[in-house]
Each structure stands twice: as structure tokens, then as C-alpha cells.
Structure 1
Amino acid sequence: MPHDDFQIEPIKGLPEVPPEGEEILWQGRPNWWALAKESLSLKWVAGYFVLLAVWRFVVVMDQMPLGKAVQISIPFLILGAICCGLLMLVAYVQARSTVYTITNHRVAMRIGAALTLTLNLPYRWIDNANLDLRKSGTGTIALQTGGKTRLSYLMCWPHVRPWRMARMEPALRCIPDAANVAQILAHAAETRVSSLKATADTASMPSALPAE
């Protein structure tokens, strides 16, 4: 019988039903091809094995017939194809198991293929968001939390800003239509923070004293 690993989720991508007043503004997942290229360095790996094959061919071409030299070089290309295939499989599985959610209160990230976890990042924890936009329209939105969260870089990889290990930045990696998603996030964060600030200011105002 088919089995859904996420059937316990009351709402796709969220571990529990959102509280009253919270609305989902956007949901999405990484583009697996973009994830393979940017996060898993697919092009660099492919180029490395092509370079090995060319190097092997150049080294032996003067020592044997041309056909034999090509034969000796081909195993490097086969090994490279296998490695690239595995990387693409990892990227596909990672993308399919990931759900990014933007609500009017927070950013939620359900990540992990083997070990699944959900990161809940209220807007008051997010100091800044940086958009890395590609020509294809896909992009990565990295969230700076200013040390408010203690998260493991390795545990959250590849859903992080690359090489930011000391202060890990959770990231919505390789998402389609990233510019539009960034606008949704910016508007939701600004509205939420302004609302919380107004509520805090109202609560801190002294109560009016009764007239004598």
C-alpha cells in the first residue's frame, strides 16, 4: 500500500494547524535542477571528470593508437556520469521532501530527506533577508537571524546560505519566481513587525487616571 511520510501533517509543510489569524501567503519548494547545480556543484563535478578524461587521452595518445587512447579515457566519463546521476538524485529527493511556507506571522521550513525537521522563524527573529537572484528567475533568500537561533549548518544543509557557518543563515534555496516571493516576504515581515510594535507601544502607555 502507498505510504505518505508526511500524512501526520495537518497542513502541508506545517507540523500543526496555524493559530487563529495566521494565513499562508505562499508555499513552494526548491527547483531540483537549480539545487543540483548551485548547492551540489553539478557543473563543477561534471567538468572535473571531463578534464580527467581529456588529461588521460593527452597523456596516452602518443603511446598507442587513437582508438585505444579514447577507450582508456572513456571510463572517466562513465564514472563522472554515475557521480552526476547520484548528485541529481540527491537534489531531486531533497527538493521533493522540502516545503517552504511564508505566512503573515513567520517563515516555516520543512526540510530534510532522511531526518525531517521544521524550522519556525517568526518575523521578529529575522533581522534581514538577502536575495540572490539568477537569470533563470530562480533564486535564494537567506534569512539573517542575528544569533537568535542556534541551528546546525550541517543539519540544515543545503537549506542554508553557503559558507556562513559561524552564524548560520537559513535559506529558501533555488526557489522559482524568487523576486516575487521576496516581495511577499518583505511585505509580510514589515506588516507583522509594525503590528507587534504598535501593540507593544499601546501596552506600555500609562492608563488614564480617573478624574477626582
Structure 2
Amino acid sequence: MSEYDHEPIRGLPGDLPAGESILWQGSPEWRTFARSALHTRWISAYFAVLALLGLASGKLVGAAAAVVGGAITQGLLALFAVLVARTTVYTITNRRVVLRIGIALNKCVNLPLAMIGSADLRPQPGDHGDIALNIVGRHRLGFAMLWPHARPWRLAQPSPMLRALPDAQVAASILARACAAVVPNEAMAIERPRPAPARDHGLQGAAA
């Protein structure tokens, strides 16, 4: 039986304490998640190249094997993405960000707003996007525990990530206001994406 089979509030491990309220909830959109987190387009291109090389060298069996292997791999990745979307709930309250994640083993990650030093909004096509949370202070969050809800390549200092959100800009604005209310002297301002060599664009501020 899952820990969340009978959760009192969807996405939360218990009832909200007095004075706490939900500001926003959302889940990943599975197609965007598959493309951005699981890199399905690159994997498709890889198998396509293998198939073309097989055809070019006259190895029809090898080409057919590449096509079949690519189709199976894409099917498994799509299934994984669907399961992640169905089992993941991101919640922003006026006190914390909660990530209910995990397919086979569910877990709940609670991040007080005061721990969020800044956040980076990475836009995706179709008004979708990812929000990476940069945590300040000491914590025990591990990359393996968070994956795939973790910012890529941040192994030493893992950053939780709200992935493939259909309304990423809305969620980012709500998060900014919530953090500003917790730390009134600091404002988390949302910056619109602009051409830059960096891969991530931001939603900066709210130092705890």
C-alpha cells in the first residue's frame, strides 16, 4: 500500500497546519517531460542514425534491429513519463514547496520557502517550463533521491526541480510572491528569457 493511498489532501502527507493554505498545485505534462527530462528526441535520432548506417552498409537485419530497438526504447520512456506525471504532485503553499514524487516508492520532499534562495525558470515550447529551486543552507537532499525531479548535472549541490509544468510562468509568479511574503525585505523577481550563453534563465531573488 502506498503512503499516499489515503492522503488527506492530494499531494500532501497530512492536513495543513493552521494558517497554511495551498496557493498552487500541478504535475508534469508527460510529453514535455519525456522530451526535456528523458531526451527522447536525441534517443530517436540515435536509433535513426543506426538504422541509416545499417541501410547504407546493406545490413538490413541491423537496420531493422535499430528500428525495433528504438521503438521499444521510446515506448518504455513514454510509459515512464506517463507514470511520473500520474504520481507526481507539486504544491506551493504560503509556507513551503512540497514535491510528492516516486513511482514505486513514494516520498514527500518539504522545502520551507525560507530555504529557497533563488529559482530559475527554464522555458519549454508551448508555454511549458521547468522551475529549478536553489536551496540555501545545509540539507540532506541527494541527487539520486530527487531524480528525475532534479536539475541536471548538479550532483554536489542538488537542486529540486518542478519539471514540465504546463503553466510554468503562473507557478513561477505564485512562488515569487509567496517567497517575498515570507522574506519581505527580499523580492524574487521573474526575469523573462533573453538570449544568453547560459542554459537556464531565471527567476531570481528571495535570499533566505
TM-score (norm 1): 0.83
Partner in structure 2 of residue 42 of structure 1: 40
CA deviations 1:17-61 (Å, max 9, x no partner) are: 11111110110100111111111111111111110000011112x
Partner in structure 2 of residue 185 of structure 1: 175
Which of 8, 18, 21 aligns to 1:20? It is: 18
Partner in structure 2 of residue 59 of structure 1: 57
Structure 1 CA distance, aligned partners of 2:28 and 2:138? 25
* Structure richer in helix, relative to its length: 1
Structure 2 CA distance, aligned partners of 1:89 and 1:110? 19
Partner in structure 1 of residue 197 of structure 2: none
Match status 1:110 vs 2:100: yes
Which of 159, 163, 185 aligns to 1:169? It is: 159
Counterpart of 1:190, as a letter, is A
Counterpart of 2:55, as a letter, is F
Structure 2 CA distance, aligned partners of 1:85 and 1:5? 28
Match status 1:79 vs 2:66: no
CA deviations 1:72-106 (Å, max 9, x no partner) are: 52221011100110001011101110000000111
Match status 1:151 vs 2:149: no
CA RMSD of aligned residues (A): 1.7
Counterpart of 2:5, as a letter, is Q
Deviation for aligned residue 1:132? 0.3
Seen in structure 2, the aligned counterparts of structure 1 residues 194 and 72 have a Cα distance that, compared at 3 Å, is closer
Structure number with greater Rg is 1
Counterpart of 1:24, as a letter, is I
8 Å CA contact retained: 2:130, 2:163: yes
Deviation for aligned residue 1:70? 4.7
**Residue aligned with 1:127, SS:** strand
Structure 2 CA distance, aligned partners of 1:147 and 1:75? 50
Partner in structure 2 of residue 199 of structure 1: none
Counterpart of 2:76, as a letter, is L
TM-score (norm 2): 0.84
Deviation for aligned residue 1:8? 2.3
Structure 1 CA distance, aligned partners of 2:178 and 2:151? 21
Structure 1 range deviating more: 154-163 or 142-151: 142-151
8 Å CA contact retained: 1:141, 1:173: yes
Identity, % of aligned positions: 44
Deviation for aligned residue 1:71? 5.7
**Residue aligned with 1:144, SS:** strand
